[in-house]
Amino acid sequence: MSALLAFISARGKMRGFKGKMVKESNPSVRLVVFDWAGTVVDFGCQGPAKAFVDGFAQVGVPVTMEEARGPMGLAKKEHIRQMLSMHSISSRWNEMKGRGWTESDVDEIYRWVTPMQIEAAGRLGRPIDGVLECVEYLRRRGVKIAGTTGYFQEAADAARAEAASFGYRPDVSVCADEVPAGRPAPWMLFRVMEKTGCYPATRVIKIGDTKADIEEGLNAGAFSVGIIDSSNAMGLSTESFQSLEPEVLEEKRNHIQNDFLRSGAHATIRNLAELPGLLEHDYPRWLESMTR
């Protein structure tokens, strides 16, 4: 490349010239992968949490919503194991049952939880406000869209069908039981990359609402982003969220953001309306640092 061409190319990258350079430098993302509950549907991730509370109640060991939310994002059976392994729940279990929990208890709770998860996934499958606009924004830029989820197949199908009826149709969606292991393993992300033909992983943005989501993105080598307002950690319905006092809202947002960043998130957004800014600023800077 001549010195002049190199100079023009560098300026193009810096200033985001219209035309070819803009396409090349901004945005260079090829695929955005969204988690489902707590990210694009089910504001506050109400469905899965409530199903775990009700499932544990069926076997005679009460758990709180906060305990149920702890391992959110993992495949559902693994989620049950992680809950049973929590100190608070395992001692409650021992006290009430007179013995420790076993793998057959995991199976029994899973049997109770399964139909509840399917019902909730369908009932709460309507896209969160701003999702459809965000998808349209990405599609206009030629970015592909995919989904990954800790839901098992039937619950994922229920969410997918309901979301599709409102117009949210990712190009590809993969659930935890379609791969050897769910989050934090990167297999679901690799599968959607394969199915959409998008690579390398640095051209993929993963957006999710839990620590497990962030780790999935990191383990795949993608740009990993935490979404705050609709998250499992915020844990509020749209109405309760909207009625928060500004200072309380700010404090909660800061707390959740710090947790995401501690988990290694490359960036956080409050909601999907902030995605364009992320694509304009944070992501290109990260990509440049990765390819330098």
Residue span binding Mg ion (CB under 5 A) among the ranges 30-38, 152-160, 163-171, 275-283: 30-38
> Is the CB of 211 or the CB of 266 nearer to Mg ion?
211
* Nearer of residues 27 and 226 to Mg ion, judged by Cβ: 226
**Contact status: 233 vs Mg ion (CB under 5 A):** no
- Cβ closest to Mg ion, residue 126 vs residue 141: 126
- Choice between 208 and 284, CB closer to Mg ion: 208
209 lines the binding site for Mg ion (CB under 5 A)? yes
Q: Which residue in the shown chain puts its C-beta closest to Mg ion?
A: 38
CA-based nearest residue to 52, from 69, 39, 36, 40: 69
Q: Which residue in 31, 32, 37, 228 binds Mg ion (CB under 5 A)?
A: 37
Residues 55 and 46: beta-carbon distance below 8 Å = no
Cis peptide before 27 (omega within 30 of 0): yes
Q: Which of 25, 33, 38, 44 is close enough to bind Mg ion by CB under 5 A?
A: 38
Q: Closest Cα partner for 111 from 140, 87, 76?
A: 76
Residues contacting residue 16 through CB under 8 Å, at least 6 positions apart: 22, 25, 26
Work out the number of other CB atoms within 10 angstroms of the CB of residue 266: 22
Residue 226 interacting with Mg ion (CB under 5 A): no
Count the residues of the shown chain that bind Mg ion, applying the rule CB under 5 A: 4
Is position 23 annotated as part of the catalytic site?
no
User: For residue 128, which of 268, 282, 237 has the smallest C-alpha distance?
Assistant: 237
Residues 76, 77, 144, 211: which is the catalytic one? 76
* Active-site position among 35, 42, 209, 259: 35
Is residue 35 annotated as a catalytic residue, yes or no?
Answer: yes
CA 241 and chain centroid, separation: 19
d(CA 222, CA 251): 29
The binding site for Mg ion (CB under 5 A) comprises 35, 37-38, 209
What residues are annotated to the active site?
35, 76
